């Protein structure tokens, strides 16, 4: 089936990955390398992180649960400090790719996130990194607002329904293989983002037009 939609993850795709910040925190606090990622991968559907991203617990509840999970795994962490590591830098080349895709195709962001402060009131979307992409997406699906999170297949069905496409008509970019696997099983074309430029080159092969600023010029949007 022809490609009609491109779906982007946010953290680790549109913005840089938090894993480097996790590694620095671990080194600074005497934790084993990869401890935070392993902790988040343990009981991944019902642990503190998953429950926060589905808005089942508030920030204080997350901190209590997450720190208890860390202690049970043999180390102490500061839950609030770990959450502060999540803010990545926006990748301009990804924003440009999203913009070019939006000129020709349906586009979406599907992200596992959590809401506090202005974001909980819906105001954070226009003031943080998300503001860089909102004008270029037709559909925004946030785990904290819909009560579903990747890799639950239901969140992929939801975003496809919102886009008005079949999974086989969609391309999905994410930096985690565990999130790509169920999307691929549903029929989506999937691209794992490790090196952003390589991922965008692959996206160009799939959609059939340039999405990088240094690879040709995208046509003007209809009516512009």
Nearest to 219 by CA among 93, 101, 95: 101
pLDDT of 135 higher than 60: yes
Instruction: Tell me which residue has tokens 């019902």.
Output: 46
Stretch(es) of the chain classified as CATH 3.40.50.1000 = 5-16+88-207
| DSSP for residue 133 | T
Q: How far apart are CA 9 and CA 180, in angstroms?
A: 10
134 near 128, Cβ under 8 Å?
no
Q: In the predicted model, is pLDDT for residue 72 greater than 50?
A: yes
pLDDT of residue 220 exceeding 60: no
Q: What homologous superfamily does CATH list for 5-16+88-207?
A: HAD superfamily/HAD-like (3.40.50.1000)
In CATH terms, the fold of domain 19-83 is DNA polymerase; domain 1 (1.10.150)
- Digit-coded pLDDT (tens) for 145-172: 999 999 999 999 999 999 999 999 999 9
> What phi and psi, each to the nearest 5 degrees, are found at residue 111?
-140, 140
- Alpha-carbon distance 34 to 180, whole Å? 21
103 contacts 8 by C-beta, under 8 angstroms? no
Residues 186/156, Cβ–Cβ less than 8 Å: yes
* CB neighbourhood size of 66 (10 A): 25
Query: What is the reported pTM?
Result: 0.84
Q: What is the pLDDT of residues 182-193, one digit of tens each?
A: 999 999 999 999
- Token pair recorded at residue 204: 């160009």
């Amino acid at each position: 089936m022809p490609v009609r939609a491109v779906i982007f993850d946010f953290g680790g795709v549109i913005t840089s990955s938090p894993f480097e910040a996790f590694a620095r925190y671990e080194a600074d606090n005497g934790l084993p390398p990869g401890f935070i990622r392993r902790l988040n991968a343990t009981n991944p559907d019902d642990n503190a992180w998953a429950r926060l991203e589905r808005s089942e617990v508030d920030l204080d509840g997350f901190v209590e649960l997450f720190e208890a999970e860390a202690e049970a795994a043999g180390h102490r962490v500061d839950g609030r400090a770990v959450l502060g590591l999540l803010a990545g830098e926006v990748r301009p080349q990804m924003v440009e790719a999203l913009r070019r895709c939006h000129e020709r195709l349906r586009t979406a962001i599907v992200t596992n996130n959590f809401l506090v402060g202005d974001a909980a009131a819906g105001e954070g979307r226009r003031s943080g990194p998300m503001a860089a992409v909102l004008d270029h997406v037709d559909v925004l699906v946030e785990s904290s607002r819909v009560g579903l999170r990747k890799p639950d297949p239901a969140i992929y069905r939801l975003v496809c329904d919102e886009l008005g496409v079949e999974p086989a008509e969609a391309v999905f970019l994410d930096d985690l293989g565990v999130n790509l696997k169920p999307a691929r099983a549903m029929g989506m074309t999937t691209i794992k983002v490790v090196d952003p430029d390589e991922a965008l080159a692959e996206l160009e092969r799939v959609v059939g037009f340039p999405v990088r600023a240094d690879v040709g010029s995208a046509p003007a949007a209809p009516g512009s």
